[in-house]
């Protein structure tokens, strides 16, 4: 776990992390921040739907009986979803929200919420926990690259001519059709999210238990700080508010020695090296359709490299150059220079780890922001991206060979890795500093943009434009009337002159 290099705080703070809707993959970003804050003496309470993950005297984990995860049975079934799979949240999160406030320990902490100095949660899946921020400073962590909807709420409206939406990226500069599609998703996704999608359904369930609370998205507008899981040096530069702090890669750590079995396997590969294959913790290998699974088995058998494949069960017919494991120390594997390639689903944390450890990537995205992450990988020249519907054994074999044998991918990723490491402070230091800053200054109102208090009409000055239009129209009509009158008078004078 990374260490924080900051002066010790003047006192211990009480911090609450209500995370009832988050699965383990989102917790992976919060774990280093939570532990770092606890190491500095702060007292932390978590309300979580996953099993306990900490063993720390300053962290109290409250595991909630909230049922199954938010994930669908198989993410391969939602690859073509217009919302990137967000529609599935309508089936799971309202039910969790209904149950959440019936749990006695939750109701107790809600009543005692002002005993805490700050509330920290992720903005995706945890809107049901927003009422805990009534009267308490709120910090949101964005696990995706960025969220234009939330940024606009804070007063920083992203320009769709060059800032991609939550789930899609485009070659830069964006062409006409790209800008048209991007504009559509900039409007559609926030609308689906907050107006006619799952948030109104969560609101209904929460209001049934807490009838006097304001709308959840109104509570969100009072957010003090947003920690962005983004690295502009690995993506593109974009304007941020003081209350939007970039902490991308704060979970990345230097590699540690590998377990003996993995060390022996990698060493046995010799100079040809090893390829690591994982679809992450959500879209597991066992959920992969059989036709795709067979393609990988056949492709790996045709290659000379050794493979480490994260697969959660036994698998028949794999060749002798393939090692299957259900759990693997991913960052330690990626940090090993003998690992030549990472075949990934393109999850945000996985792609950041690959860049941090300078391992080229072959991305095969499945859903949500993975498509956007894949395009970033391709745009940076640090890997390739494939589509599941186009996969063949030959395509897999040729793509793996291309990335490993063409030195430009390794050269490019070493350059990008060097850039993201070249900064005055670590992302974790930055996250801890600004978290404590918000607490020290009781919500840090000075960080907030005045634009956050404006309506859309005021922000885009539509009322001013309408006023100027009416003034111009009035002037135009007045001038027209004046000219008509002048012309009439002129005609009369000419008529009188002719009569005379």
**254-312: per-residue pLDDT in tens?**
999 999 999 999 999 999 999 999 998 766 677 788 999 999 999 999 999 999 999 98
pLDDT of residue 168: 76
pLDDT of residue 194: 79
Q: CA 319 to CA 305: how far, in whole Å?
A: 11
Confidence band of 494 (pLDDT split at 50, 70, 90)? confident
Burial class for 131, CB neighbours closer than 10 Å (0-12, 13-18, 19+):
buried
pLDDT in tens, 342-376: 999 998 899 999 999 999 999 999 887 888 889 88
Closest Cα partner for 25 from 124, 111, 91?
A: 124
Q: Please state, in angstroms and rounded to a whole number, the distance separating the CA atoms of residues 144 and 349.
A: 9
Q: What is the band of 452 on the pLDDT scale with cuts at 50, 70, 90?
A: confident
Looking at residue 210, what is its pLDDT? 95
Q: Before 173, cis peptide (omega within 30)?
A: yes
Of residues 263 and 174, which shows the higher confidence score? 263
Does pLDDT of 74 surpass 70?
no
Token match 């690259």: residue? Answer: 145
Distances 464 to 390, 450, 458, 472 between C-alpha atoms, Å? 52, 18, 8, 12
Question: Does residue 496 surpass a pLDDT of 80?
Answer: no
Is residue 70's pLDDT more than 70? no
Mean per-residue pLDDT, 33-60: 95
Looking at residue 144, its pLDDT comes to 80
Describe the crossing of helices 89-100 and 198-209 by its angle, rounded to 10 degrees: 10
Question: CA-to-CA distance for 35 and 14, rounded, in angstroms?
Answer: 14
On average, the pLDDT of the chain sits at 89
pLDDT at 238: 85
pLDDT above 70 covers a percentage of the chain that reads: 93
DSSP letter for 292, please.
H
Q: Which two tokens stand for residue 29?
A: 């970003």
Position 81 confidence tier, pLDDT thresholds 50, 70, 90: low
In this structure, are residues 351 and 361 in contact, taking their beta carbons and an 8 Å threshold? yes
Residue 403's pLDDT is what?
98
Q: What local confidence, expressed as pLDDT, does residue 4 receive?
A: 78
Report DSSP letters for 68-100, one per residue.
S-SS-S-GGGGTT-TTTTGGGHHHHHHHHHHHH
CB atoms inside a 10 Å sphere around CB 271? 5
How confident is residue 205, by pLDDT bands cut at 50, 70 and 90?
A: very high
pLDDT in tens, 395-447: 999 999 999 999 999 999 999 999 988 888 999 999 999 999 999 999 999 99
pLDDT the model gives residue 8: 86
- Helices 407-421 and 348-356: crossing angle in degrees, nearest 10, is 100
What is the rounded average pLDDT of the residues 191-212? 88
Residues in Cβ contact with 229 at an 8 Å cutoff, skipping those fewer than 6 apart: 29, 141, 142, 143, 144, 145, 247, 248, 249, 250, 348, 349, 352
Residues 51, 83: Cα–Cα separation, whole Å: 29
Phi, psi of 153 (to 5 degrees): -60, -35
Query: Taking 80 as the threshold, does the pLDDT of residue 197 lie above it?
Result: no
**Rounded distance, CA 338 to CA 267, Å?**
8
């Amino acid at each position: 776990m990374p260490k924080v290099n900051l002066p010790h705080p003047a006192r211990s703070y009480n911090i609450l992390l209500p995370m009832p809707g988050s699965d383990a993959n989102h917790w992976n970003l919060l774990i280093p921040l939570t532990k770092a804050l606890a190491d500095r003496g702060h007292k932390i309470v978590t309300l979580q739907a996953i099993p306990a993950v900490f063993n720390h005297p300053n962290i109290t984990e409250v595991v909630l009986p909230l049922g199954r995860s938010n994930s669908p049975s198989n993410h391969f079934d939602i690859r073509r979803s217009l919302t990137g799979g967000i529609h599935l949240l309508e089936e799971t999160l309202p039910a969790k929200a209904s149950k959440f406030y019936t749990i006695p320990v939750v109701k107790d902490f809600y009543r005692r919420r002002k005993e805490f100095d700050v509330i920290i949660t992720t903005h995706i899946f945890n809107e049901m926990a927003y009422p805990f921020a009534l009267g308490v400073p709120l910090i949101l962590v964005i696990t995706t690259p960025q969220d234009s909807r939330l940024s606009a709420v804070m007063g920083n409206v992203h320009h769709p001519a060059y800032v991609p939406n939550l789930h899609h990226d485009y070659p830069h500069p964006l062409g006409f059709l790209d800008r048209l599609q991007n504009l559509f998703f900039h409007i559609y996704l926030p609308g689906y999210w907050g107006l006619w999608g799952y948030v109104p359904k969560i609101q209904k369930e929460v209001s049934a238990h807490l009838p006097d609370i304001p709308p959840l998205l109104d509570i969100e507008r009072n957010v003090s700080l947003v920690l962005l899981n983004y690295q502009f040096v690995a993506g593109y530069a974009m304007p941020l508010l003081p209350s939007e702090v970039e902490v991308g890669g704060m979970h990345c750590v230097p590699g540690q020695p590998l377990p003996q079995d993995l060390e022996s396997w990698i060493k046995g590969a010799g100079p040809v090296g090893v390829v690591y294959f994982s679809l992450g913790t959500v879209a597991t290998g066992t959920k992969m359709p059989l036709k795709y699974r067979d393609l990988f088995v056949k492709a790996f058998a045709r290659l000379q490299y050794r493979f480490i494949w994260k697969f959660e069960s036994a698998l028949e017919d794999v060749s002798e150059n393939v090692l299957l494991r259900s759990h693997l120390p991913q960052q330690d594997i990626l940090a090993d220079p003998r690992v030549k390639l990472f075949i990934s689903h393109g999850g945000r944390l996985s792609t950041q780890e690959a860049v941090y450890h300078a391992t080229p990537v072959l991305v095969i995205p499945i859903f949500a922001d993975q498509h956007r992450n894949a395009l970033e990988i391709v745009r940076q020249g640090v890997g390739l991206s494939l589509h599941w519907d186009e996969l063949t054994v030959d395509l897999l074999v040729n793509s793996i060979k291309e990335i490993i044998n063409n030195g430009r991918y390794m050269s490019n990723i070493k350059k990008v890795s060097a850039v993201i490491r070249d900064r005055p402070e670590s992302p974790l230091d930055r996250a801890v500093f600004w978290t404590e800053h918000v607490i020290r200054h009781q919500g840090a109102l000075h960080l907030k943009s005045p634009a956050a208090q404006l309506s859309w009409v005021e922000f885009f000055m539509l009322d001013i434009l309408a006023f100027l239009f009416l003034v111009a129209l009035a002037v135009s009509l007045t001038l027209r009337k004046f000219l008509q009158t002048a012309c009439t008078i002129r005609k009369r004078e000419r008529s009188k002159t002719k009569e005379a």
